[in-house]
Amino acid sequence: MKKTNIILLVVIAVAIGVIITMVGDFSTYETFATARQKEGKEFHVIGTLDTLQHMSYDPQKDANLFSFYVKDKTGETRRVVFYGAKPTDFEKAESIVLTGKMEGQEFHCNKILMKCPSKYKNDQVAVGNQTL
């Protein structure tokens, strides 16, 4: 076998390995129950802010500690601990995607993605004589 054929086979094998590893990293949204069953594994949990529970953020004491409560899509509410600053307009978020792990009864997240209400949702746009 020629050296170029061997090199080509090695490159193809490495490419296949990279593709397989990347496919394994794709994740779906889970619930707190799933995250609790596999404690220590990182999950994406989607939910809504539980405004009836207390949020804790004191930037004078610790600017990188923010805790709050989230209700997941099954209705289970858990305390979430985020090691970072409180995001701007956090209370206005329609839904929240948390990336993190369950530790005991708390969900410790390292990333928060908020879906805020659209500012165009209730606006009407006039086009000619029609209102859209």
pLDDT of residue 71: 94
- Cβ-based neighbour number of residue 80 at 10 Å: 24
Q: Say if CB 68 and CB 49 are below 8 A apart.
A: yes
For the chain, the average pLDDT equals 83
CA 121 – CA 94 distance, rounded (Å)? 13
- Cβ-based neighbour number of residue 47 at 10 Å: 24
Instruction: For 25-82, write each residue's pLDDT tens digit.
Output: 555 788 888 888 888 888 899 999 998 888 998 888 888 899 999 999 899 999 999 9
Of 43, 57, 50, the residue nearest 103 (C-alpha) = 43
pLDDT band at 13 (very low <50, low <70, confident <90, very high): very high
Residue 122: pLDDT over 60: no
Domains of the chain: 29-115 (2.40.50.140)
Instruction: For 70-81, write each residue's pLDDT tens digit.
Output: 999 899 999 999
pLDDT of residue 98: 92
Q: Summarize the confidence of residues 12-24 as an average pLDDT.
A: 80
Buried b / exposed e over 94-109, threshold 16 CB at 10 Å, is eebbbebbbeeeebbb
pLDDT of residue 12: 94
Q: DSSP character for 69?
A: E
For residue 6, CA distances in Å to 11, 17, 90 come to: 9, 17, 55
